C-alpha cells in the first residue's frame, strides 16, 4: 500500500494524517501535538497554518468542544479506506495462517511420505520462505514421467522468471535463482522455488511429485545440481 506523504495535496494530506490517527474525532490540541511531536510531519508553525487553512476551506470541521473531524466528503473516503484496510488485514492474516499451517504440517507429519522426503532435502528457513511464494507463481511448462523430465518456470521478485529443468535419466537439476546458485546447489538442497514447485506438483498430482522427488533423493549422490 502506497503511504508516501502527499504534501502538495491538502485533501490527500488530511487523509494521510487521519489514516495514522485512525479516529473519527480528535481535539485540536491533540492533533497539533501528534502531527508535530509523534508523527513529525510538520513544524509547529506549519501545522497551525495547515489546519487553519483546512478549516477555512471546510476540509475540516470543528465543533464547539474543539473536536475536529474530516469534512463529509473526506470522511467518506476515509471510511472506504478503512474498509479496504480491514479486508487487506483479514486477507493477510488468512494467508499467514495458511502458510504457518503448511509449514507445521510438513515439519510434523511423520507419516506422510512426500513430507518426509521433502524434509530430507530442505531446511525450515527455506520451507518458511517457500510457502510465502504465490500459488500462481509456478508454471509447469512440460512434464513427462515416462521420459523423466520436467520443465517449469517460477516468477521471482523481479520481472524475470526463474527456470527449473529436471532430468531423471541424466540426473540433472538445473535452476538459476541466486540462493540456489550460490548456496543450495553445492549442498544439494532445495531453495524456496524448488520447494514451491514440488508443493504445487503434489497438489496437482502427488504420484508424479513423488516420482521425481524419490528419484532425486534416493540417488542424491549421483545427481548434479547446477545453474
Look at 158 and 33; give whichever has higher pLDDT.
33
Domain count, the chain: 2
**Is there a single domain that holds both residue 135 and residue 209?**
yes
pTM for the full model? 0.54
pLDDT digits (tens, 9 = 90+) for 173-222: 999 999 999 999 999 999 999 999 998 998 889 899 999 999 999 999 99
**Is there a single domain that holds both residue 64 and residue 130?**
no
> Which long-range contacts link 133-138 to residues 24+ away (Cβ below 8 Å)?
133/192, 133/193, 133/196, 135/200, 137/196, 138/196, 138/197, 138/200
**Is there a single domain that holds both residue 2 and residue 51?**
yes
pLDDT of residue 100: 63
Whole-angstrom distance, CA of residue 169 vs CA of residue 215: 10
Mean of pLDDT over the chain: 86
**Is there a single domain that holds both residue 64 and residue 37?**
yes
Mean pLDDT of all residues in 28-51: 87
**Is there a single domain that holds both residue 158 and residue 140?**
yes
Whole-angstrom distance, CA of residue 28 vs CA of residue 22: 15
Query: Strand, coil or helix: what is 143?
Result: strand
**Is there a single domain that holds both residue 193 and residue 116?**
yes
By CB neighbour count within 10 A (0-12 exposed, 13-18 middle, 19+ buried), where does 209 fall?
Answer: buried
Residue 110 predicted with pLDDT over 60: no
Which residue range is the domain that position 216 belongs to? 111-226
Whole-angstrom distance, CA of residue 50 vs CA of residue 40: 14
- Out of 88, 108, 128, pick the residue that ends a domain: 108
**Is there a single domain that holds both residue 5 and residue 104?**
yes
**Is there a single domain that holds both residue 45 and residue 90?**
yes
pLDDT digits (tens, 9 = 90+) for 70-80: 999 999 999 99
**Is there a single domain that holds both residue 16 and residue 56?**
yes
**Is there a single domain that holds both residue 199 and residue 94?**
no
CATH number of domain containing 48: 1.10.10
The C-alpha torsion from 112 through 113 and 119 to 124, rounded to 10°, is -20
Cα distances (Å, whole numbers) of residue 190 to 107, 121, 182, 185, 218: 15, 6, 12, 8, 15
Amino acid at each position: 500500500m502506497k503511504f508516501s506523504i502527499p504534501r502538495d495535496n491538502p485533501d490527500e494530506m488530511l487523509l494521510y494524517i487521519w489514516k495514522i490517527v485512525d479516529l473519527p474525532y480528535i481535539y485540536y490540541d491533540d492533533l497539533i501535538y501528534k502531527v508535530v511531536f509523534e508523527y513529525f510531519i510538520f513544524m509547529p508553525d506549519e501545522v497551525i497554518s495547515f489546519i487553519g487553512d483546512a478549516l477555512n476551506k471546510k476540509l475540516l470541521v470543528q465543533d464547539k468542544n474543539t473536536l475536529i473531524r474530516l469534512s463529509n466528503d473526506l470522511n467518506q473516503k476515509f471510511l472506504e479506506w478503512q474498509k479496504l484496510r480491514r479486508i487487506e488485514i483479514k486477507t493477510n492474516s488468512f494467508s499467514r495462517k495458511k502458510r504457518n499451517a503448511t509449514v507445521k504440517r510438513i515439519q510434523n507429519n511423520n507419516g506422510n511420505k512426500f513430507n518426509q522426503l521433502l524434509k530430507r532435502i530442505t531446511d525450515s528457513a527455506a520451507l518458511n520462505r517457500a510457502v510465502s511464494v504465490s500459488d500462481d507463481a509456478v508454471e509447469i511448462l512440460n512434464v513427462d514421467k515416462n521420459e523423466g523430465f520436467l520443465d517449469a518456470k517460477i516468477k521471482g521478485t523481479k520481472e524475470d522468471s526463474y527456470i527449473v529443468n529436471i532430468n531423471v535419466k541424466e540426473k540433472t537439476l538445473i535452476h538459476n535463482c541466486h540462493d540456489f546458485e550460490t548456496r543450495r546447489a553445492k549442498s544439494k538442497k532445495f531453495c524456496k522455488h524448488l520447494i514451491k514447485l514440488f508443493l504445487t506438483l503434489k497438489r496437482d498430482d502427488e504420484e508424479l511429485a513423488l516420482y521425481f522427488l524419490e528419484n532425486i533423493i534416493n540417488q542424491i549422490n549421483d545427481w548434479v545440481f547446477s545453474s
